[in-house]
Structure 1
Amino acid sequence: MAPPTSSASRIVTLLLKVFNFVLLLISLIVLTTNTATAYTEVLTFKVYACYECHWIRIYPLTNCILNFSHYNGKSFNKRDGGALLDFYGDKVISYLLATGAAAGFGVTVDLKETFGLFIDRSFYEKAYASASLLLLAFVCTAILSVISSYAVPKKV
């Protein structure tokens, strides 16, 4: 398979990065605003350690912002190792996102089995939605990783 053209690759990369940023931001908002009441205790994502790893969403968000800032090529030239940085950065972030999505699904299943009748159903639905958005962000980042792998042999 021939590598994609430069302009088409840049447009697709930019669109995927924007879509990835939006998915991560919405996922973070859904997770942080998700609350429920069990008995007399108000439950939030901070109560459970696995949900508290919301930093998994924050790190890729900052990476997206940094990628946008050097996307124009002025602050970080692709010849100076930017292709390798994009390639390995996308790999690391995709693994973080996949791990975060799996942890989100796992802890939600465990909570539902443990407190199923005592917590409102919408709490679980929002937790699943947040993890699903994180999984979609992983798919976007995995695609970005494949696209960035085309640039590595040319630039290194």
Structure 2
Amino acid sequence: MRLRLDAGDITQLYVDAIVNAAKKSLLGGGGVDGAIHRAAGPELLEECKTLGGCETGEAKITKGYDLPAKHVIHTVGPVWHGGDENEAELLASCYMNSLQLAEQQGLRSIAFPCISTGVYGYPKQQAAAIAVSVCKMFTSNAQSLKEIIFSCYDDESLAIYRQLLTDS
């Protein structure tokens, strides 16, 4: 199992699945969510309409359509409220449920954005620590997954993930 970093646009990655930091409706939005919907094309929205939304911490899968990725795994991250409303557990669930869904589908590679660190306000250092911890824990039981990519859109996030991956 390989954990690696990517600096750039998650919508350009050739992987089995990219993870979408989605809104509960799964009908698109801003940030990563909007970029994925734009890059995938209108068919993604049509499939998402059939899924009935998604609760915080859960994950659902669709086809990738016009993306280089074969699939999109949609997960809803928590909004940061100071850390006293189960945000850490919910964020960990986003990663774990996405990884488990990828395994159930027999996928070999998955790329994660920095879930909840944009408009949802989750502190980047804390969110990255959860992401790396959950993914490392998952690697010991992974069957099909061979590569987990942390796709960082900004230099600050990239530096945080680089340090976390180097320290472990």
Please report the TM-score for the alignment, with normalisation by the length of structure 2: 0.27
* Structure 1 or 2: more helix by fraction: 1
Flag the structure with larger Rg.
1
* Structure 1 or 2: more strand by fraction: 2
Please report the TM-score for the alignment, with normalisation by the length of structure 1: 0.29
